[in-house]
A and B are shown apart, each in its own frame.
Chain A
Amino acid sequence: MSPRESHPSAVPARGGTDRPWVGAFYNPHLARETLDAAELFDHLAMADAPRAEDPFFAAVRERFVLLLHDYLGQLSEPYDETAIRRSRELAELYASPWVAEHFQCLHTQDGCFNLNYVFPPLYTEEFLQRFIANALLLKSRLERPLVMENVPGFFQVPASTLPEPVWLKRFFDATDTGFLLDLPHVWIEAEFAHRDPYEFLREFPLERVVEVHTGGVQQDEDLKAPWVAPTGPSDDMLDYTAYAVGLCPDVRAVTYDAFAPGLTAEVLIASVERVRERLGA
């Protein structure tokens, strides 16, 4: 692939229109309802590989654009051959137009400790160079575009020496990968830092955005602070989403980000309808 073809913004918009796709995550327990409301979903993001016994996956694969959004590895280290093979196989199964990975480092090198949830790397020069080198390696093996999602930090680590938006911009400039902008993540980080979320958002490299995640935010009892939750997006979040989409010239997809066994069909359908309505899609 040429460098241009390997960038997600080269993926044609659905139906040749300029509007971004609107979709959600594939929640297998809601497969029937998702198929029944198929006209609402341009795409589905796949957080887990389909189970062999999933009776709906064949129809889902036939009906929707599928985006690979599984846990594949962490780019603090190079992917090993097993992870690369798995990434390629899943991307091929889904015919995914791009492959998503996270800016995260959540398990120790010796395999003894694992957080099993988004946790950002230290924003340092050393980690930046690790992520750049490993993303370039991965990109060369995927044979399809790579997009990277921002993840929030809940507490400050004094060893981080670069602001997150600067670190991300340098990463994207060096790798020419796409940006999967998770808006609830930016929103809650702004709240933790007592920043205006709109002002904070504009610091990120929005010209690199290919996909936007939107979703619910709720007060969490353990954190005693807001966190992303499988609830519908608030009116404020929908306004924020519309604002962000307007600032992202190459955005191709907007995804309602909720993947949880407790998610109900009513919340899923209503949320996608409201995203569509707010974006005029």
Chain B
Amino acid sequence: MPEPARSDDRALQDALIRLLADTPFRDALYALGQAELPDGVPPEHAAILCATDPERVRRFARFLARHYYYERVVHFFRYSRALARWTGRSPEQVLRSPAFDELLPRAVLGSVETARAVVDLVERHLGEATSAPPYFADLRRYEGTQMLLEAGPRVWRDTAPAPRVHARALLVRSDSAVVVDFEWDLPGLLPELRALARVGATAPPTGRRAPTRLVIARSPRGRITVLRWTPALEPLLDSLDGERELADVATAAGVAPAEIVEVAAALVEAGVLHVT
């Protein structure tokens, strides 16, 4: 049995977590052993990782992957799920499909690439429904965008003080915020879809066709927020370019600085804006 690393067990735990989450890393480690170490793994950790039972580790990793995406698919596609009795398709069915199994040898839990592959599978599966309400395509896109946006590294713990938003702050739209156009008024539809689970509806809600623009944002901690793109929000987001101070933007828009600071602080917390 290899001598365990005594001074950096936490780093070894990180390597174990990666061993389970990152399939290409795991395959490289077991294939190459200690001869050619995958990036960033000290030899003493590689020795310990290699001493685990590869078959049991692979089985557990497979189990974790299915669990990981089950949680996300059920959460993000919950409105499509509520419509399953009419569409005949539950989004989580794809997780027991050969197509999902084919994806596992490349899966990296939490990565944008794997999230995109899973979202594509779900959207294709739901898109093949022969009976669905007319807003179903919009709904799938709304749900898939959120799941995709949620992927990627996140802040789990932050001891630095939160960035302070004040009148002289320089702000810019965050990369983790997207603006998406829909043909249907989804925010107006969602409460009716939520109610489907508790009322004995005999037909899905009809919805209202109305062009709708939404901002979907992810906070650094991975929380998703959806906002309507309003006439007030548009000039604010377009004007904040990281060079103009918030107070100047407020003056140009004819808004009181105190009011705009409050709005901007909420948008920073939601991940729509960030302080440069």
Contact = CB atoms under 8 A, between A and B. Distances in A.
Contact of A80 (B1, B5, B7, B159): B159
Contacts of B154: 111, 114
Interface stretch (A17-25, A156-164, A200-208): A156-164
A261 B18 CA distance: 28
Contact of A108 (B5, B14, B155, B158): B14
Contacts of A32: 198
A113 B60 contact: no
Given A111-B156, A116-B67, A122 B59 contact: no
B180 interface: no
A82 B14 CA distance: 23
Nearest to B59: A223
Interface stretch (A57-65, A123-131, A143-151, A210-218): A123-131
Interface string B151-188: 00111111100000000000000000000000000000
A71 to B, nearest CB: 11
A39 interface: no
A154 interface: yes
A224 B68 contact: no
Contacts of B68: 115-117
A73 B159 CA distance: 14
Contact of A222 (B12, B20, B59, B109): B59
A113 B71 contact: no
B252 interface: no
Given A73-B157, A77-B157, A223 B60 contact: yes
A127 to B, nearest CB: 6
B156 A130 contact: no
B60 A154 contact: yes
B66 A158 contact: no
A108 B18 contact: yes
Given A126-B9, A155-B57, A116 B109 contact: yes
A32 B198 CA distance: 8
B67 A117 contact: yes
A227 B21 contact: no
B10 A76 contact: yes
A124 B22 contact: no
Interface in B1-48: 1-2, 4-7, 9-10, 12-14, 16-18, 20-22, 48
Nearest to A29: B197
Given A124-B4, A223-B63, A76 B13 contact: yes
> Contact residue range for chain B?
35 or more
B48 A227 contact: no
Contact of B18 (A79, A113, A220): A113
Contact of B74 (A83, A156, A161, A261): A261
A226 to B, nearest CB: 12
A158 B157 contact: no
A191 to B, nearest CB: 13
B60 A112 contact: no
B6 A117 contact: no
A5 B134 CA distance: 59
B38 to A, nearest CB: 13
Contact of A158 (B4, B21, B110): B4
B53 to A, nearest CB: 5
B191 interface: yes
Contacts of B5: 159
A196 B20 CA distance: 28
Interface in A86-132: 105-117, 119, 121-122, 124, 126-127, 130
B194 interface: yes
B276 interface: no
Contacts of A114: 17, 21, 109-110, 154, 156
A53 interface: yes
A124 B9 contact: yes
B4 A220 contact: no
A225 interface: yes
A130 to B, nearest CB: 7
B51 A115 contact: no
A55 interface: yes
Contact of A161 (B4, B66, B110, B221): B4
22 contacts: A73-B156, A79-B157, A80-B157, A82-B221, A107-B17, A108-B17, A108-B18, A110-B14, A114-B109, A114-B154, A116-B64, A116-B110, A117-B64, A117-B68, A126-B6, A127-B9, A127-B13, A154-B63, A155-B56, A157-B52, A159-B4, A161-B4
Interface of B: 1-2, 4-7, 9-10, 12-14, 16-18, 20-22, 48, 51-53, 56-57, 59-60, 62-64, 66-68, 71, 74, 81, 109-110, 153-159, 191, 194, 197-198, 221
Q: Which 4 A-B pairs have the closest CB atoms?
A: A159-B4, A222-B63, A155-B56, A113-B21
Given A112-B153, A114-B154, A154-B59, 8 more contacts: A32-B198, A74-B156, A111-B154, A117-B68, A126-B10, A154-B60, A156-B52, A159-B4
